[in-house]
């Protein structure tokens, strides 16, 4: 990842920044429900937004039956996410996804397949998805993934610490994870579907950023409820507050349940409306997805040809 800003350093633990915060859930839900209707993006502009969304995708496979072959096919798609004839018709070239995200043992296969492409390998770690293995093992898993070639690490927090208000302990744990990442950028997965309230989501977001997370991420994709617009709205407002307090820019990654081109548009609109154009770039915004890419490519083909193709013409890998 190319840094447009100085690397996140985090801050000392400062509970005063979030202790008294209480998120108005009905208001957040009303605001989130209005977002899709606030902007109408059509024709060439829509195609441009969808092309931008592709550059922000963390193309992901996190299945129990992952193999080297599957990861290699995913990386081939990451290098060439849209058919060459469509790119030519759109006047685009060199389009790639933001990263490829895999389990730690798949990192060497991804790193080899992406060599020379400039596409970073992201790895989940820290006992993903539950995060309930002993801390020394979680830290060792981070170091293993980095040694194997991961440039980005998606860690999971201990939900119990957030649910019981042990914010200092959560800060200390994430801080150790950040140190274990070394030069690799760290995305802190909050597993927001497990945190129960938007107030907890805001507080966990602020603690993760204070501890040095380069990105905050909604979900593992394995919870009952994953990325939603009200949760994302709460998190991006925490990002804005943290930037205003510290001058540090932190990225945002929704993940889990985002499958369509319309989802991509909705989350880009959220970023544009709440944070501005700069936060719609891949160094500050990522989308954790797999099947979404096929639907975006299908929409781009419709833009070029005026016809919808069968979904199986745009296989993921």
- Domain CATH for 280: 3.20.20.70
| Number of domains the chain contains | 1
**pLDDT of 1 above 70:** no
Is residue 17 assigned to a domain? no
Q: Is residue 13 part of a domain?
A: no
Give the model's pLDDT for residue 3: 52
Choice among 58, 154, 194, 295 that is catalytic: 154
Tell me how far apart the alpha carbons of residues 98 and 95 are, in angstroms, rounded to a whole number: 10
Q: Which residue has the higher pLDDT, 140 or 2?
A: 140
16 among known catalytic residues:
no
Q: Count of alpha carbons within 13 Å of 301, Cβ hemisphere only?
A: 18
pLDDT score of 315: 66
154 is catalytic: yes
Banded model confidence at residue 42, pLDDT cuts 50, 70, 90: confident
CB count within 10 Å of CB 194 equals 18
Specify the higher pLDDT residue, 236 or 316: 236
pLDDT for residue 246 is more than 90: yes
Per-residue pLDDT at 290:
87
Would the pLDDT of 307 be above 70? yes
In tens, the pLDDT along 157-188 reads: 999 999 999 999 999 999 999 999 999 999 99
pLDDT confidence band for 4 (50 / 70 / 90): low
The pLDDT of residue 297 is: 95
Predicted local distance difference test score (pLDDT) of residue 2? 44
Q: What is the pLDDT of residue 317?
A: 55
The parent domain of residue 185 ranges over 23-304
Q: In percent, how much of the chain has pLDDT > 90?
A: 90
Among candidate residues 77, 187, 253, 272, the one labeled active-site is 253
User: Catalytic residue among 77, 187, 203, 217, which?
Assistant: 217
Q: Average pLDDT, whole number, for the chain? A: 94
The pLDDT of 183-210, averaged and rounded, is: 98
Q: Is residue 30 part of a domain?
A: yes
Residue 280 lies in a domain: yes
Is 285 among the domain residues? yes
Residue 175 lies in a domain: yes
Q: What is the mean pLDDT of residues 190-203?
A: 97
Which candidate, 298, 283, 235, places its Cα nearest to that of 83?
298
Model confidence band, residue 316 (pLDDT cutoffs 50, 70, 90): low
Mean pLDDT, range 286-295, rounded to an integer:
93
């Amino acid at each position: 990842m190319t840094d447009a800003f100085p690397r996140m350093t985090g801050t000392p633990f400062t509970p005063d920044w979030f202790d008294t915060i209480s998120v108005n859930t009905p208001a957040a839900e009303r605001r989130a429900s209005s977002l899709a209707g606030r902007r109408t993006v059509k024709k060439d502009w829509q195609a441009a937004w969808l092309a931008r969304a592709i550059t922000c995708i963390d193309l992901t496979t996190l299945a129990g039956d992952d193999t080297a072959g599957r990861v290699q096919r995913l990386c081939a798609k990451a290098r060439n996410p849209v058919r060459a004839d469509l790119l030519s018709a759109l006047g685009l070239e060199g389009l790639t996804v933001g990263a490829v995200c895999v389990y730690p043992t798949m990192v060497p296969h991804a790193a080899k397949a992406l060599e020379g492409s400039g596409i970073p390998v992201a790895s989940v770690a820290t006992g993903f998805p539950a995060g309930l293995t002993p801390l020394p093992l979680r830290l060792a898993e981070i170091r293993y993934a980095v040694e194997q070639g991961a440039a980005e690490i998606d860690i999971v927090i201990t939900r119990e610490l957030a649910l019981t208000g042990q914010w200092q302990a959560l800060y200390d744990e994430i801080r150790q994870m950040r140190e274990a990442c070394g030069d690799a950028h760290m995305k802190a997965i909050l597993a927001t579907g497990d945190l129960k309230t938007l107030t907890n989501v805001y507080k966990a977001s602020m603690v993760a950023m204070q501890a040095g997370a380069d990105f905050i991420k909604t979900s593992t994709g394995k919870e009952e409820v994953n990325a939603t617009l009200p949760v994302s709205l709460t998190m991006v407002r925490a990002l804005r507050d943290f930037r205003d307090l510290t001058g540090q820019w932190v990225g945002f990654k929704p993940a889990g349940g985002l499958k369509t081109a319309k989802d991509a548009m909705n989350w880009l609109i959220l970023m544009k409306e709440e944070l501005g154009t700069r936060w719609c770039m891949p160094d500050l915004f990522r989308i954790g997805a797999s099947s979404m890419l096929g639907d975006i490519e299908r929409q781009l083909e419709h833009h070029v040809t005026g016809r919808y193709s069968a979904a199986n013409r745009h296989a993921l890998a």
